[in-house]
Amino acid sequence: MRYLPHSPQDIQHMLQTIGVPDVEHLFRSIPRDQRTERPDDSPGLPECQLRRYLEGLAARNKNFCVSLASAGAPFHAVPKAVETIVGRSEFQTAYTPYQPEVSQGTLQAVFEFQTIVSELMGLDVSNASLYDGASAVGEALLLALRVHKGKRPVVWVSEGLHPHAKEVVRTMLHAFGDVTIQWLPLDPGTGATVLPGAVTADVAAVAVGYPNFLGVIEDIAAVSAAARSAGALSIVSVPDPANLGVLASPGALGADIAVGEGMGLAGTAGMGGPGLGLMAVRDEYVKQMPGRIVGQTVESRGGVGYVLTLATREQHIRREKATSNICSNQALVALAFTVHLSLLGPSGLRDLATLSRNRAMALRRGLLGIPGVRPLVTGPVMNEFALVFPRDAAGLRAHLADNGIFFGVPLARFCPERPEWREAILLAATETACPDDIAHTILLVKDFYREGK
Amino acid sequence: MSTQIHTGLLHREPPIFELSSPGRTGHALPPSEPLDDEGLPAAFLRQGAPLLPELSEVEVVRHFVRLSQWNHCIETGMYPLGSCTMKYNPKINDAMSALAGFTATHPLQEDEHLQGSLELMFQLEGLLCRVSGFHSVTLQPSAGANGEFTGLALIKKAIDVRGEGARRRKVLIPDTAHGTNPASVVLNGFEPVSIVTGPEGVLLPEAVRPHLDDELAAIMVTNPNTLGIFESHLKEIAELVHGAGGYVYMDGANFNAIMGKVRPADLGVDTMHFNLHKTFSTPHGGGGPGAGPVGCTAELAPYLPVPRVLRTNEGSYRLITELPNTIGRVHPYFGNFAILVRAFTYMLENGGAGLSRVTEMAVLNANYVRALLKDTLAVSVDVDTLHEVVFTDRDLKKETHVTTMDVAKRLLDFGFHPPTVYFPLIVPGAFMVEPTETESRVELENFVETVKAIVEEARTDPEKVTSAPHRTGVGRLDETTAARKRILRWTPAKP
Ligand SMILES: Cc1ncc(COP(=O)(O)O)c(C=O)c1O
């Protein structure tokens, strides 16, 4: 086996030194009756066969030429340089930076990541990452519950979060117990979250998507003001932080906690992960943050250095009193995010967000020009939107798939029983779509309905 | 212009923001366009750009390559880190996970357009079932701690279904457990109860008996435990716990010690997480991403998180999201998929026989280090150990005042990453070595000789040890100042 550097002579010598006759002897502390009776002795595959099998599997996924879907997994054009940096042994095969003297590379990169995330979100402090955008919402809600020390047992959560994120939040809060989730409906006309009146004194937090799952840009300033005037925390969930190149930051609009999913900009959205859970908070909540945080300090020879800090929040120190159980996070994805945003710079990020928005608007306008196609909701959107098609949305998507186009995600998939979603498709565009792709797509949709397929 | 001080090829690299100068960019996007702002209220638009660096690609690449050179990594040298299984990460794994068929696939494509990924997940679940003996596996959890949360949620659900949710809330955790264990218990609304390990370093039925009542939800055991000792009474304890209506959770962080030797399900374990980033060779990435699949018995299987992958009679694969008793989703898509591909590749390359051999060589290596070092550092508990061995600074500290932390820092001067230190908490000045199977005899001997030299130095020149490290790019870092000053992001200097 190529990963085992032991020669037969080495093994003999080592056994002799240990003072046992054979390798089996090393397992004598395991009672006989607990040993596996017939261990699996199947052989392994040589590399050529491994490749053939896995390449075969990969080929059985359909890869589209054009993707017009995001739905929580946005695909951006990530420069090759990002992959090169992330693939470096020193980053990829390094351990968690608990020994700072030999981990300054990772630590400084995380410090830069934290800076970028807090800048994008418009808040004071970011942590070193969480698993994904969905669990980040759950962690934010748990944070808010801790801030109120159990005196506010209710959280208001928008129905406009990604349906899967809602399920993750439900799993997390249900397990934690003693919390009531009040789901805030979306206005059927505008698609924006409706608060059922003034925020009540038992509410720990109000959480909304920005934009929400239907692509609608929520009025974060109004929701945040309503939350904060009642002493509740405002939580804003950003499904694609690329949009923050154009949209106002959650912090500027009054959010206390901003969370998000960074995998699109990190280039790991394929199959939905590894994800990159982002979280930034106002300074007053830093001691309640889940996850690792890197801080700047000095070293014994007088220079500047970086360490993991505020560890008294974390499980390895505080055990059952920790702010979360998270240990391993998404460090390497956070690095990819950091490198990409460093390449983009402020103008690049704005360009990327603008191009995504412009392509999406061209697609939307073109499709709305087709008789019978209408928007599902009327609220303002960024680069994602839901349209209702006159009939047979499934047939339409299949026709476009045959032409190499991934034409959004059918909303019926998430809630088959909602009649108004039956023929609705959630579409999006990013800078990866060319104007020609958009034009071609519109033409194919036109043809589909003209020919009455 | 700041003057940079370099140590040979080790570059002192300022925060990337300080390298920035206006007008540079490192991207290659299509030409800029004015924003199509139709219908976009001005109040929603960003005022002022975020503070991001302005740099060309060359400068960005150089910055991060320079930073990378400050890291120790498995490809520069050994990580004798107990409880972490830092083994070599095969290159073929990375290549397979980077195949465009996986990386360019949208997670919400139709099942018929995801057949390759679904088959991979189905097969990987099967391989994990086979080495562990469990009925089913979910690949959804993002890391070990997330797996703990998920496994405990299965137990909680089973207890709720029995109508005992309000009463059964105690989870027993031995004092050698990792911090994530009690934290995961609390996230499930359970109450952790600490129980003590016996004098031989293992859990005894006596420690469990007083807790066998109708409030007991579960026991959470790491096996082999964090002292590297096999929990030989676990099977009996499992029977006791089951008899009292509770469940057994096993933390599988140390699975590298028992592959092909023991199947946790055979011991009466109800559910367990695997750490793919430990046992199954996926890289640590400087802290993640990992993956923490969870195995469970047939009894707990109905509660597993969705989606589940199903093979149809025609041999195609389908996602199931509607299960009446599922705990729900724990991940928005399919967990850390790219990590799953790596672990799958590794398991196929090894086969069952290879995985058994991995375990044998891991245990051989740990015992070799133990044999060579046992007269230099005291072993915490003098019984057989498997894949790791925990030493203590008890004698060394008494004799020289040099501590585990000092030895750890001095190791850095000789190119070794230190072992895990001060864990488990019950061992004073714990110094926990897990070499893994991918270290050669020569490398182990080098490590041992270095530790011996440091211990000798502690007697002759203790100052040299307590002030270490001397040869790293930076000296010891001031953690107290970091926590007090709380500089958690870069800010521009005030003009
Ligand atoms: C015994 C044990 N349990 C659980 C964990 C947590 O695993 P993860 O970091 O993948 O969440 C670790 C990780 O160090 C561990 O050593």
Q: Is the CB of B143 under 6 A from ligand 1?
A: yes
Instruction: Fill in the amino acid letter for A172.
Output: M
CB pair distance less than 8 Å for B284 and A93: yes
Give the closest residue (by CA) to ligand 1 atom 9.
Answer: A328
* Domain termination residue (choose one: A321, A341, A361): A341
Q: Structural domain boundaries of chain B?
A: 92-349, 353-480
Residue A15 placed within a domain: no
Return mean pLDDT, chain A. 97
Residue A218 placed within a domain: yes
Query: Is A96 in the same domain as A235?
Result: yes
Closest CA to A155 of A237, A261, A273, A70: A237
Query: Is A337 in the same domain as A349?
Result: no
Give the closest residue (by CA) to ligand 1 atom 14.
Answer: B84
Which residues are CB-neighbours of B314 under 8 A, at least 6 positions away? none
pLDDT at B370: 98
**Which atom belonging to ligand 1 lies closest to the Cα atom of A325?**
11
pLDDT at A222: 98
Instruction: Compute, in angstroms, the gap from residue A59 CA to the centroid of ligand 1.
Output: 34
ipTM above 0.95, yes or no: yes
Closest CA to B169 of A5, A175, A405: A175
Give B427's Cβ-side CA count (13 Å radius).
29
Contact of B103 with A134, CB cutoff 8 Å: no
Strands annotated E in B186-237: 191-195, 216-222
pLDDT at A452: 63
Query: Is A280 in the same domain as A217?
Result: yes
Query: Is A118 in the same domain as A222?
Result: yes
Range of the domain at A367: 66-74+345-450
Which residues are CB-neighbours of A218 under 8 A, at least 6 positions away? A158, A160, A192, A193, A208, A209, A210, A211, A212
pLDDT at B65: 97
pLDDT at B12: 87
Closest CA to A304 of A116, A107, A128: A107
Q: Is the CB of B240 under 6 A from ligand 1?
A: no
pLDDT at B11: 83
Query: Is A391 in the same domain as A423?
Result: yes
Buried b (16+ CB within 10 A) or exposed e, A410-430: bbbebeeeeeebbbbbbbbbb
Query: Is A402 in the same domain as A317?
Result: no
Which residues are CB-neighbours of A200 under 8 A, at least 6 positions away? A154, A230
Query: Is A270 in the same domain as A391?
Result: no
Distances in whole angstroms, Cα of residue A79 to Cα of each of A76, A342, A436, B289: 9, 11, 22, 21
Closest CA to A263 of B430, B386, B13, B103: B103
A309 touches chain B (CB under 8 A): yes
CA distance A10 to B444: 11
Give the closest residue (by CA) to ligand 1 atom 8.
Answer: B144
Total of domains in chain A: 2
CA distance A266 to A273: 10
CB pair distance less than 8 Å for A6 and B361: yes
Kindly list the strands in the beta sheet with A424-428, ordered across the sheet, starting from the edge strand earlier in the chain: A374-375, A384-388, A424-428, A409-410
Q: Which residues of chain B have pLDDT under 70?
A: 1-7
Copy the structure tokens of residue A331. 């460090």
Residue A446 placed within a domain: yes
Preferred mutation among A15, A121, A325, A340 to probe B, highest tally of B CBs within 10 A: A325
- Dihedral of CA atoms B285, B288, B289, B295 in degrees, nearest 10, equals 120
Contact of B150 with B141, CB cutoff 8 Å: yes
Beta strand A257-261 pairing with A277-281? antiparallel
**Cβ–Cβ pairs < 8 A, chains A and B:** 670
Task: Please count the other Cβ atoms lying within 10 Å of the Cβ belonging to residue A391.
Answer: 12
Q: Which residues of B touch A171 (CB under 8 A)?
A: 153, 305, 327-330
Distances in whole angstroms, Cα of residue A65 to Cα of each of A401, B100, B334: 9, 12, 23
Beta bridge partners of A278: A260
Query: Is A350 in the same domain as A324?
Result: no
Element containing residue A259 per DSSP (H, E): strand A257-261
* Domain termination residue (choose one: A320, A341, A362): A341
Contact of A152 with A202, CB cutoff 8 Å: yes
**Which among A115, A135, A361 has CB closest to B489?**
A115
Beta strand A409-410 pairing with A424-428? antiparallel
- Residue B80: exposed, middle, or buried by beta-carbon count in 10 A (0-12, 13-18, 19+)? buried
- Write the pLDDT tens digit of every residue in A219-248: 999 999 999 999 999 999 999 999 999 999
Query: Is A398 in the same domain as A313?
Result: no
Q: Which long-range contacts (CB under 8 A, 24 or more apart) does A389-396 make?
A: A389/A423, A389/A424, A389/A425, A390/A423, A390/A449, A391/A423, A392/A423, A392/A453, A393/A422, A393/A423, A393/A424, A393/A425, A395/A448, A395/A453, A396/A425, A396/A445, A396/A448, A396/A449
Angle between helices A435-450 and A331-368 (to 10 degrees): 50
Range A281-306 average pLDDT: 96
Instruction: Compute, in angstroms, the gap from residue A314 CA to the centroid of ligand 1.
Output: 13
Beta strand B420-421 pairing with B430-433? antiparallel
| Cα A363 → chain centroid | 25
Q: What does B366-415 look like in DSSP terms, one character per residue?
A: HHHHHHHHTTTSEESS-S--SS-EEEESHHHHHHH---HHHHHHHHHTTT
* Domain termination residue (choose one: A317, A341, A365): A341
Residue A175 placed within a domain: yes
Residue A150 placed within a domain: yes
Preferred mutation among B60, B128, B323, B431 to probe A, highest tally of A CBs within 10 A: B60
Query: Is A168 in the same domain as A261?
Result: yes
**With respect to CATH, is domain B353-480 assigned 3.20.20.110?**
no
- Asked whether residue A302 carries a pLDDT value surpassing 50, the answer given is yes
pLDDT at B10: 81
* Distance from the A112 Cα atom to the nearest Cα atom in chain B, whole angstroms: 7
Closest CA to B292 of A110, A186, A157, A326: A326
CA distance B460 to B456: 7
pLDDT at B9: 77
Asked whether the domain spanning B353-480 has the same topology as the one spanning B92-349, the reply is no
CATH number for the domain spanning A353: value is 3.90.1150.10
SS3 B113: helix
Residue A59 placed within a domain: no
Query: Is A307 in the same domain as A370?
Result: no
Kindly report the CA angle at A363 between A360 and A368, in degrees rounded to 5?
125
Domain B92-349, architecture per CATH = 3-Layer(aba) Sandwich (3.40)
CA distance B218 to B202: 18
- Write the pLDDT tens digit of every residue in A415-431: 888 999 999 999 999 99
CA distance B264 to B250: 8
CB pair distance less than 8 Å for B29 and A355: yes
Residue A283 placed within a domain: yes
CA distance B150 to B75: 33
Closest CA to B290 of B330, B251, B253: B253
CATH number for the domain spanning A237: value is 3.40.640.10
Copy the structure tokens of residue B129. 């079932």
Closest CA to B92 of A48, A85, A94, A1: A48
- State pTM to two decimals: 0.98
Instruction: Compute, in angstroms, the gap from residue B366 CA to the centroid of ligand 1.
Output: 19
Question: What's B257's DSSP letter?
Answer: G
SS3 A295: strand
